[in-house]
Amino acid sequence: MRVAIYCRVSTDDQADRGTVQNQIEFANKYCDLHQHTITKWYIDDGISGTIPLEQRPEGAKLVEDLREKQFDILLVYKLDRLGRSARIILNAVYDLEQAGVVVKSMTEPFDTGDPSGRFLLTILAGVADLERDTIVTRLWHGANRAAREGRWLGGIVAYGYRVVDGYLEVNKDPLPGHDMSEADVIRMMYHLIGTQGLSTIKVADYLNALRIPTSYTKDGRMVTSGKRKVATTGQWTPGRVRNMIVNTTYKGVHQYGKRTKKDREIITRKVPSIVTEELWEAAQKAMQNNFIEAFRSRKREYLLRGLIKCSICGLNYCGGAFKGPGGALKPYYVCNGKTTYRGKFNGKCPSKNLPAVDIEEQVWNECVRFINDPDSALSEISTTMENRKSEKANYISERTAIEQAISTKETEKQPILDLFRRNIISAADVEQQFTKITQETERLRQRLKELDKLITAEDTMFSKFDTAEALLLSLREKLKNADTFEARREIVKTIVDRVEVKTETKNNRPQATVTTQFIFSRVTPCTDKGY
């Protein structure tokens, strides 16, 4: 009988421990004992058992030799060497049996030469599948615990960091040919955007002018282009800068498991920060303002951009142009839900377009009347300022309560650990409860961030003015110089909170009611001219 041997290990570290060599030595002794002559060796070193046999390097050779009938018996150290999935094992055995080859395990009491052996094979294949799932589950729980402890478990290391002894730390080493480190580059990017208000395009141009190397260039890494690995251009792009600015890792918050496509828990843990949370938030706000204020692709300046909301889908209106009488382009405000399938409904938003000139004139005239009407304006501004001060006090009170709730979350873990020590609950129960506590804590922290933004907004609005009269005088001074679009835009942003469009169908035609919501409590509906 011609005998072939198939050996496999799944990881490189198993190969370093000599697992393959152990299988080879065992096979030689086994064949000497049973007086078998080995005609073929197939050794897959560092190949996962979840890959089908015919897709493995040596497994493909085995399948090819199988067609030429170069052996009669295939010996494996254990059945799980053929695969770690019941489906893969049974498919491989079926293909071997169809070619007239008998599969035998050197350490398990079965072969496929008789019915009882095939029955036992099915059971062992299921056991191999169960073992793999159990190992994966244990590794998953272990990885989660290690991640919560702050260990770096692989993946892309953000620019400005490095991994030392399994933990993430700030990279302070100077870049080649520069006095700055990667961390210094990150801080400079955040200051340029968060403090100076530069766009991502200008920051990318500045970094390229300084010849700051990207991570791929510095490390000599290649990228895949088709079937080849090629060097990158080594250029900073606005998209690369934007992705780094929105990365929460730089403010000390890393989300483990975010990149995986599997349905698994995302663990938020603390890591060393490079920039302060205040600077990080300032950079986010600056990028948002830059996005709203961008004029690059606009042929017309839209006074109400970013302020008009659709009451149907909740999305913003944006500027656009359509041909009118005589083929001339007429500017409109169009709901973003009409061009995308986002929102609370299926399909495109049925909202009505707004003629840009008409709606801008209506809102601007209302702003002018608001500023020039001293009696009602002062009354409304004073009332609003008092209400806002009261709201700020409520925000501060809620923030204090949330901080106390977060501090008690850590104390909730100790009773769970006590139950675990007394063998009342399992490690999986501990993992589940700790996960709930972490999720609840993260939700509370998110609410803290929202409250901080609200408190900051209140401070920004009223910190410059002690009285309503001072604020009103400031607005009137700006109104005197409102000849330019920038000046008018600044006034509108100061006074108008939002413009809401409610579309209803009447007589089979859409009709829109536009409501202007001022920051200072005034609501002005506009229903004339058919909108």
Task: Check whether 525 has a pLDDT greater than 70.
Answer: no
Pick the closest to residue 302 from 289, 321, 280, 315 (CA basis): 321
State how far the alpha carbon of 157 is from the alpha carbons of 50, 216, 256, in Å: 28, 12, 12
**Fold annotation for 161-293:** Hect, E3 ligase catalytic domain fold (3.90.1750)
Instruction: Look at phi and psi of residue 276 and say left if phi exceeds 0, alpha if psi is from -120 to 50, else beta.
Output: beta
Which pLDDT tens digit goes with each residue over 104-157?
Answer: 888 887 766 677 777 777 777 777 777 767 766 676 677 677 777 777 777 778
Which pLDDT tens digit goes with each residue over 416-474?
Answer: 888 888 888 887 788 888 888 888 888 888 888 888 877 776 655 555 566 667 777 77
Which pLDDT tens digit goes with each residue over 207-217?
Answer: 888 888 887 76
Q: For this structure, is 390 an active site residue?
A: no
**Fold annotation for 2-147:** Rossmann fold (3.40.50)
* Cα 223 off chain centre by: 22
pTM of the complete model: 0.43
**Six token digits for residue 136:** 């994966």
Domain boundaries, the chain: 2-147, 161-293, 308-530
Q: Considering the chain, what is the average pLDDT of its residues?
A: 79
Which pLDDT tens digit goes with each residue over 40-71?
Answer: 999 998 888 888 888 999 999 998 888 888 89
Using pLDDT thresholds of 50, 70 and 90, give the confidence band for residue 188: very high
Residues 183, 236: Cα–Cα separation, whole Å = 16
Residue pair 317/310 in contact by the 8 Å Cβ criterion: yes
Of 10, 85, 105, 351, the active-site residue reads 10
Residues 461, 293: Cα–Cα separation, whole Å = 20
Beta pairing partners, 230: 223
**Six token digits for residue 306:** 């970013």
Predicted local distance difference test score (pLDDT) of residue 481:
78
Predicted local distance difference test score (pLDDT) of residue 227:
44
Task: Check whether 317 has a pLDDT greater than 80.
Answer: yes
Mean pLDDT of the 156-165 span: 87
Task: Check whether 190 has a pLDDT greater than 90.
Answer: yes
